[in-house]
Amino acid sequence: MVRLILERLAVAIPLLLIISLGVFALVHIAPGDPVRALLGTRPSDPATLAALRDKYHLNDPFVVQYGKWLWQVLQGDLGRSINGNRLVWSAIKERAGVTIFLSLIGTAIVLLFGVLLGMAAALRRGTRLDRAMVMFGVFGISSPAFVTGIFLLYFFGVVLGWFPTFGAGRSGFGDRLWHLTLPALALALSVMAIVVKITRASMIEELDRDYVTFARARGLSATRIIFGYVLRNALIPVVTAAGLVVVGLLASAIYVEVTFALPGLGSLTVDAVQKRDIPLIQGTTLVFSCFVVLVNLAIDIVYTLIDPRIRFGKVES
């Protein structure tokens, strides 16, 4: 297990360095003078321009600028926001809780109900339930998260009044869960359809294998065959999809947070883009990128917990 983690870190660290280089280059990719890109539409004078050039080392060569910025990042300093002069890291920490909570609820809904519905469809292959799950998959994949969110917001929030229509809640776990249920459902429905389809296809494939026939011939119960053998093997492609699911949830969280007026990292990023706050855009982009790399690392480790024979495409004898 330690060797596995070291091998994946050997790939993840250079990848993070490449990502950090791209994130840092945002200032220089923007058209015009980098100082003007940092200021956006705000007025300035020569003294302000000179101070910004000195603060962000813009008079140094690009490589030197990147090295100084990377050293600050490694020390936990992501700079200061142009708007409000707040520490970028403080702004991210303040908003990260909502996004993490929302993503965890969405992931739990996707994996739990996605696997269960996919199993039910595979075990009732060719029935009305199976066809209904296939239709759900088509509907879910075709519906963007923000469209589903608007429908859920109107129907369950405005018409029925069962859930709040905005905000993340402030009175503890229960209140926050109540406020984030609709956003989590909107986030999960489109991605859950993918998990249902993958689980169904994988379960059907495993149910047709010879070892299932042999297990039945030995008199093993259907419950033991399904949960002890079939499901375990069928979960391997589901785990592969789980990494994409979490990444997809995080990407869709931006739209959902804006739709439900949630103070998370997604809405923070949108606000930073609208105000051209490049240090804040750099910070949020770097945090999202690190999260994606860490999720992929965790998925690779989970592979071996499901089936220890798997070693990145090789099966040990």
Structure-block tokens of residue 148: 């589903």
**Same domain, yes or no: 289 and 235:** yes
The answer to whether residues 114 and 199 touch, using CB atoms and an 8 Å cutoff, is: yes
CA dist 195 and 173 (Å) reads: 28
Query: Helix (H, G, I), strand (E, B), or coil: what is residue 229?
Result: helix
**80: in domain:** no
- Confidence at residue 317, expressed as pLDDT on a 0 to 100 scale: 40
**Same domain, yes or no: 259 and 113:** yes
Radius of gyration for the chain, computed over Cα atoms and rounded to the nearest angstrom: 24
Does position 309 have pLDDT exceeding 60, yes or no? no
CA distance readout (Å), 157 to 25, 130, 160, 176, 313: 42, 31, 6, 15, 47
**219: in domain:** yes
**Same domain, yes or no: 227 and 287:** yes
**Same domain, yes or no: 38 and 155:** no
**Same domain, yes or no: 182 and 45:** no
Does position 74 have pLDDT exceeding 80, yes or no? yes
The residue type of 73 is: V
Helices 278-306 and 265-274 meet at what angle, rounded to 10? 150
**Same domain, yes or no: 173 and 291:** yes
**Same domain, yes or no: 233 and 296:** yes
Which class for 275: exposed (0-12), middle (13-18), buried (19 or more C-beta within 10 A)?
middle
Does position 119 have pLDDT exceeding 80, yes or no? yes
- Confidence at residue 139, expressed as pLDDT on a 0 to 100 scale: 75
CA dist 53 and 38 (Å) reads: 10
Mean pLDDT of 114-128: 82
Range of the domain at 233: 96-315
Does position 313 have pLDDT exceeding 70, yes or no? no
User: What are 80's strand-pairing partners?
Assistant: 87
Mean pLDDT of 40-69: 74
Q: What is the pLDDT of residues 261-304, one digit of tens each?
A: 788 888 888 888 777 777 888 888 888 888 877 777 777 777 66
Where b means 16+ CB within 10 Å and e means fewer, 45-64 reads eeeebeebbeebebeeeeee
**Same domain, yes or no: 243 and 117:** yes
Q: Total domain count for the chain? A: 2
pLDDT averaged over every residue in the chain: 76
CA atoms 155, 100, 268, 144: torsion sign: negative
Of 96-100, 108-112, 224-228, 242-246, the poorest mean pLDDT is in: 242-246
**Same domain, yes or no: 137 and 250:** yes
Query: Helix (H, G, I), strand (E, B), or coil: what is residue 113?
Result: helix
**91: in domain:** no
Q: What is the pLDDT of residues 158-190, one digit of tens each?
A: 777 777 777 666 766 777 777 788 888 888 877
- Confidence at residue 62, expressed as pLDDT on a 0 to 100 scale: 79
The answer to whether residues 20 and 260 touch, using CB atoms and an 8 Å cutoff, is: no
pTM of this structure: 0.71
Q: What is the pLDDT of residues 186-201, one digit of tens each?
A: 888 777 878 888 888 8
- Confidence at residue 40, expressed as pLDDT on a 0 to 100 scale: 61
CA dist 24 and 41 (Å) reads: 21
Percent pLDDT > 90 in the chain is: 0
